[in-house]
Structure 1
C-alpha cells in the first residue's frame, strides 16, 4: 500500500547524483570509414566532453582521455568541434578537434602507438583570442577548412570571423601566417560545404542586428586551381528569410532548410540560377535556430534521398525522396531527434530520445528504416514507475493565442497525497528565448515529480517549432509575452484543479532566468523562484558590454533598437524593479559566465538584500553559461528542492 504523505515530501530513489550523471547528451555524430564517432559529456570529469568511437566490431571506447575536452567556443555557444579523415593504406583514421582549454585545433592519430594530440593552429592567448569550429577536409586533403574567430581588441565585439584553411602538417602551430584566409565577407559565417566535384563551396552568413533565425544568406563561391575562393554570391535567403543549413545534392544543386513561407522547409536550389523548389511544402519545421555553428537537421544520402528531422511539437526522423516529395518516418521509442545527423557509409546515424528514454546514438537502415542503438544506450537508474509520464498541452492565452507546454504530473508508486490535496507545480521556462523544450526524459524533472512536485515546461510565444509567426510573437515583447504565457499555463492548471494555486513556482536558466525574474517582479502568482545564470539588466547586457558578440544585438528585435527604446530597456529589467520582489528566490551563477556575467546577478542580490527579501545566492567557480560539472549540478538541484520545500510548506 502506498504511504499517504503531502505532495513535496515523498521519498524518492531519484537523487541529484542520478540527475547529474545523466546530464547532457551525445552529440556531433559522424561516420568515419566503417566506424561511428560522436562526442559525449563527462559530468564526473569536471564536465569535459570526450570523443567516442564505435569500431566496426561493435566495441565502444573514448578516443581521447582526460583532460582533453572536445568543445569549441566560437560564438561562445560553440559549433562542430571535430572532423576526421578515414583510414588509408598507410595510416589509421585521423581526428582533428578543438580542445576547450586552449581553443586550438589538434591532430590525433588514435591507432598510432604512443601518439598524442598535436596542435595545428597557433597559441591563442588567455582568454582564447583565436577559436575554430565546423572543420571539414579540403578538396586536396592537405588542409582543414573551417571557421576562425579572431579577437583583435579588448571588447567582446572586437572580433573577425572568416573561412580559413589550416595545413594538416602542423606548420601553422608555430607560424600563424601558414593559416590561409579564404574569405571574410560577413560578420557571422558557418563552416564551408564543398561540392562533390570540389569546384564550389557553400556557407551561410549574416550580419548584425539580425540573429540567424531572423535572416541569413546562403552564399557560394568557386574554388580556383590554387585553392582560393572567387566570385562569392548569394543564392538564397534575405532579411526575413533564414537559411539554417545547406548541403550539396550534386555538383550544381543544393538542399537547404529555409523559411520563405514561414516554416523551415527543405528546398532544392540551383547554384547557377538560384531557382528554388520547395521539396515538401508543409506547416512543420525541417530545421531550427542556429545557436551553434554546424547544426545538422538533415543529411543527404548517396542516392540523393534526404534523412531529415521534421515536425512541430516534436521532431521526428524521416527519409524524404526529393523526386516525389514522399516522406517515411523511422519508428521506435524515439519521439525527438537532435540536430546532429550523418548519412555516410550507406547508413544514417542520429541521436534520439523519448518521454521514457534518454538520448541515444541510433543507426538507421535507409532502405527498410529499421533502427538500432549503437551508442550511449539508455538505462533506467531507478524503477521506471518513479519516472514521470508527460503529456502535451495547449492552453489559451491572452487574445486567444495558443500556448504550448509539456505537463509532467507527480508520480511515485510508493506514495499518495492526502484526499483533496492538490500538488504544487513549478513552471520551467526554457532558455534562448528563441528555442524550445522537447518532451524527453529528464532526470532533473523526475527529481521533482517523484517527490510530489509537478512540472510544466512552457514553450511560450517566441519558441521555435511552430513557425515564424509563433516565434515572432516575442519581437519587441520579451519580458511581456513570455511572462504572460508562463502565467497562462500556471493559472490554467490551477483553474482546472491540476495544481494548487497557492503553491506555484517558476524556474529557468539564461533567458529562462530572465523570464523567471521578470515573473517574480511583474506578477504575484508564484510563491518562489529559482533563477539560473540570468539576464537581469538589459542596458548593461546590451550597450554596457556585459555579454558576448553573438547576442550583443539580440535585444534589437526582442526589445527594440537603441537609443529609441532606452526607456523600455530600463523598465523591463528585473533589477529596475527589485523593490517588487516579495517572495523567496534562489540565484545560481557560474563565475566564468561571459554570456550572462555574475555582475548582473550581484546587482539583483544586493538590491534584494537591502530590502530583506529571503534569498540564497550560490556561485560556482569554473562554471560558465550552463552547468556541466557533476558537483555543481548536484548542489544546484538540492538547493532548488530546499527552496520549494520551504516555500510550499503550509504556514511558511
Structure 2
C-alpha cells in the first residue's frame, strides 16, 4: 500500500542536480562525408553542456562507435546570429570552420584524424572588429573554391536594432567578400551541386520568417561572386522555412501556400516569382517549422522520390511517387530540426515519452533505431511521468492540444479528499510548441505530487498556418484564454485542485504567465522566467528588444502608434493592480533577447504592494539558463515558491518572499 502524504511533499530521488546533468543538449547535427574525411562518413553535432557553464562543444561519432570531442575547451561553437544563433560549423574540403562564442569570429582548423580532440592550431579566419561582437557570423555553408559562405551581421550603431546583414564568402586566406544583401534578414546560403547557382532565403520587417520569406537565386560567377539576384518564389504571405538542392540538382523548398509547410519544387528558369511553387505530394501535415534558428533542417532527400521529413516533429518518409507519408520509429515523438542522411539511414536528434534527447540513427525500411549517444542515467522509470496527449476546448469551441503529466510515485499517494496542485506550462515563442516527451524538469515536480500540463495554445506551430495565426493581434488574449480553459477543465474533471493551480513559462511564456495573473483569477501563483512585460518597450522604438524581434509585436498585438492603448492594456507592467497572487521572477542578467530591464522595473513596482514576490537574477546567464548552478538554483527556488503559496513543505531550502 502506498504511503499517504500531502501532494508536493512526496520524497523524490529526482534532484535539481539531476535535471541540470540531463541538460546536455545535442544540436546542429550533420554528416561529414568521405569526400571530406579520409576515414569515411561520420556523424558530427554540437552539444550544450551545463556542467561546463553552458559551453557548446563539437562532437563526432566514429565508425567504431566511439564518441569524442573535436575541439577542446574553451572553444564554444555558438554564435549570436539573430541572437538565437545559426548553424555554427561546417566542413569545407579538409578544414573545419566554426564560430566561437567569445569573439563571434569564424575560426578554422585542419580536420583531426584521430579519435581525440584535435591538437592542430586553430586560427581565426575573419578580422577582429573594432568593438566586441561588432561582426557576427552564422549559418556556415561550403562555398566554391574552398570558401565558406555565411551570413554576416554588422553592428552599425549603439541601439540593439542597429544591425546590417549580408551574405559573405570567406576565403582560406581570411579574405571576406560581400556577395548579396537582398533583404534585411538572410539565411540558408547554399551552392547548387553543379556549382552554377546560389540560393538563399530573405525577408523584411514587419514579417517574421513564419509569416513570409522569399527564395532568392543568383548565378555564381567564375571568380566566386554572384550575379544579379532574382526572387523566384515565396513572399506575399507564403513562408519558406527550408531550402535544399535535390538529388537531380533541382531546388526544393518547404513552403506553406496551402496553409501547411509542404515539399515544393522551385522553378528556376523563366516565369520569376509568378511561376509559382510546384507542390510535390501535398499532405495536410506540417513538414516544417518556425525558423527561430537559421539553418534548421526538417527535410533530407533519401533518393530521387523519397524524402525523410519531420511531420509535426515526428519522423516520416514522404514518397512523391505514391503521395504517401509513412511514419518511421513512432516511439520517438520529437525530433529536432537537424536531420541528415548517412548511407541511406536517417540520423538526427530525437526523444520520446520514455527517453531523453539522443543522437540516433534510424533505418527507414524497418524503423530500427540505433543510439549514437548513450542515454543518460535516468531516475527509476516509476518516478517519471508519462505524458498524456489530450485536446481541450475553449468556451467558443476552439480545440487546444495539451500534454498532461500527472503526479507519479511508486510508494506515495495523496489523501483521498485532496486533489493535486497543477502547473500550467506556457511554452516560449510564442510561435513554439510542446511535444509528448520525457521531461525531467516536469518530473522533478510530478514525482513530488505536483502535476504539470503543457499547453499548445493558439499560435503554436505544428497545426497549420490557420492555428498559428489565431494569435495574430491576439497575444495576451488567445494564449491566456487557451491556457485558462485547460486549467479550468482539469479542475472541473477533478484532476487538479482549483485552489492550487499555478502558471509558469519563460520568454513569451513568461509574458503569458504574467498576463494571465493580471487578467484572470484562474491561478494562485506564477513563475515568470526572462519575460516580456511591457509590450510597447519591447520594440525597436522602445529600445528593449533585439533586431530580429523588434517588430514582432506589431503582428502579435498591432502596429504602433495606432494600437498603443492595446499594447498598454495587455502589458502586465501596466496591470499590476489586477495581479491575482504571488509571483517568482527568474532572469539572466546577460539576456539580449529579453533584457533584465523589464523584470527589474516590474519587481520595483511590486515593492510595498503587499503582493508576495521574489526575484532571482543570475550573473552570466543569457536567454534560457545554461549553467548547471543556475538550473539548480532556479528549479529549487520554484519548488520552494510553490510550497509557500500552496501550503506544503518541500525538500529544498526556503525562499524569502518580499511584499
**For the superposition of Structure 1 and Structure 2, which TM-score range results when normalised by the shorter chain?**
over 0.9
Q: Are the equivalent residues in 2 in contact too, given 1:252–1:272 (CA < 8 A)?
A: no
Match of 1:267 among 260, 264, 268: 264
> 1:134 maps to what in 2?
139
Cα distance change of structure 1 residues 649 and 126 upon mapping to structure 2, 3 Å threshold: farther
> 1:278 maps to what in 2?
279
> 2:166 maps to what in 1?
162
Match of 1:124 among 123, 129, 136: 129
Q: Are the equivalent residues in 1 in contact too, given 2:264–2:277 (CA < 8 A)?
A: yes
Q: Does residue 419 of structure 1 match 2:420?
A: no
Describe the SS at the equivalent of 1:571. helix
Distance in 2 (CA, whole Å) between partners of 1:283 and 1:47 is: 38
Describe the SS at the equivalent of 2:434. coil
Q: Are the equivalent residues in 1 in contact too, given 2:309–2:315 (CA < 8 A)?
A: yes
Matches within 5 A, 1:223-242: 223-242=220-239
> 1:287 maps to what in 2?
288
Matches within 5 A, 1:238-637: 238-250=235-247, 253-273=250-270, 274-303=275-304, 305-311=306-312, 315-331=313-329, 333-375=331-373, 377-542=374-539, 543-637=541-635
Distance in 1 (CA, whole Å) between partners of 2:535 and 2:307 is: 42
Match of 1:222 among 210, 219, 233: 219
**Alignment root-mean-square deviation, CA:** 1.7
Shift of 1:566: 0.8
Shift of 1:580: 1.9
Distance in 2 (CA, whole Å) between partners of 1:559 and 1:507 is: 21
> 1:90 maps to what in 2?
none
Q: Are the equivalent residues in 1 in contact too, given 2:384–2:447 (CA < 8 A)?
A: yes
Distance in 1 (CA, whole Å) between partners of 2:294 and 2:565 is: 34
Distance in 1 (CA, whole Å) between partners of 2:30 and 2:648 is: 53
Which is further off, 625-634 or 125-134? 125-134
> 1:200 maps to what in 2?
197
Cα distance change of structure 1 residues 335 and 557 upon mapping to structure 2, 3 Å threshold: same
1:372-428 CA-to-partner distances (Å, cap 9, x unmatched) read 1112x2234211110001111111103111111110000011201111211100000
Q: Are the equivalent residues in 2 in contact too, given 1:41–1:49 (CA < 8 A)?
A: yes
> 2:16 maps to what in 1?
16
> 1:107 maps to what in 2?
108
Shift of 1:302: 5.0
Distance in 1 (CA, whole Å) between partners of 2:129 and 2:434 is: 35
Q: Are the equivalent residues in 1 in contact too, given 2:333–2:435 (CA < 8 A)?
A: no
Distance in 2 (CA, whole Å) between partners of 1:4 and 1:498 is: 18
Shift of 1:278: 1.7
> 2:654 maps to what in 1?
none
Structure 1 unaligned blocks of 5 or more? 87-92, 173-177
Distance in 2 (CA, whole Å) between partners of 1:570 and 1:426 is: 27
Distance in 1 (CA, whole Å) between partners of 2:377 and 2:85 is: 30
Which is further off, 276-285 or 197-206? 276-285
4+ runs of 1 displaced by more than 4 Å? 366-369
Which is further off, 545-554 or 392-401? 392-401
Shift of 1:126: 4.5
1:46-98 CA-to-partner distances (Å, cap 9, x unmatched) read 11110001112111111122211111100000010101135xxxxxx532111
Shift of 1:305: 2.6
Distance in 2 (CA, whole Å) between partners of 1:186 and 1:582 is: 44
> 1:89 maps to what in 2?
none
Match of 2:80 among 50, 68, 73: 73
Q: Are the equivalent residues in 2 in contact too, given 1:31–1:342 (CA < 8 A)?
A: yes
Shift of 1:31: 1.1
Q: Are the equivalent residues in 2 in contact too, given 1:427–1:457 (CA < 8 A)?
A: yes
Count of aligned positions:
634
Which is further off, 212-221 or 322-331? 322-331
Distance in 2 (CA, whole Å) between partners of 1:330 and 1:114 is: 40
1:303-343 CA-to-partner distances (Å, cap 9, x unmatched) read 453111113xxx22122233332333322531111100112
Describe the SS at the equivalent of 1:37. strand
Q: Does residue 53 of structure 1 match 2:54?
A: no
Describe the SS at the equivalent of 1:400. coil
Distance in 1 (CA, whole Å) between partners of 2:268 and 2:153 is: 27
Shift of 1:364: 2.4
Distance in 1 (CA, whole Å) between partners of 2:247 and 2:2 is: 62
Which is further off, 155-164 or 365-374? 365-374
1:253-296 CA-to-partner distances (Å, cap 9, x unmatched) read 22111100111111122222445322222221000000011110
Cα distance change of structure 1 residues 165 and 484 upon mapping to structure 2, 3 Å threshold: same
Shift of 1:581: 2.0
Distance in 1 (CA, whole Å) between partners of 2:177 and 2:290 is: 30
TM-score, with length taken from structure 1 = 0.95
Q: Are the equivalent residues in 1 in contact too, given 2:281–2:319 (CA < 8 A)?
A: no
Q: Are the equivalent residues in 1 in contact too, given 2:194–2:249 (CA < 8 A)?
A: no
Q: Does residue 646 of structure 1 match 2:644?
A: yes
Describe the SS at the equivalent of 2:584. strand
TM-score, with length taken from structure 2 = 0.94
Distance in 2 (CA, whole Å) between partners of 1:11 and 1:533 is: 30
Q: Are the equivalent residues in 2 in contact too, given 1:134–1:294 (CA < 8 A)?
A: yes
Cα distance change of structure 1 residues 356 and 366 upon mapping to structure 2, 3 Å threshold: closer
> 2:38 maps to what in 1?
none
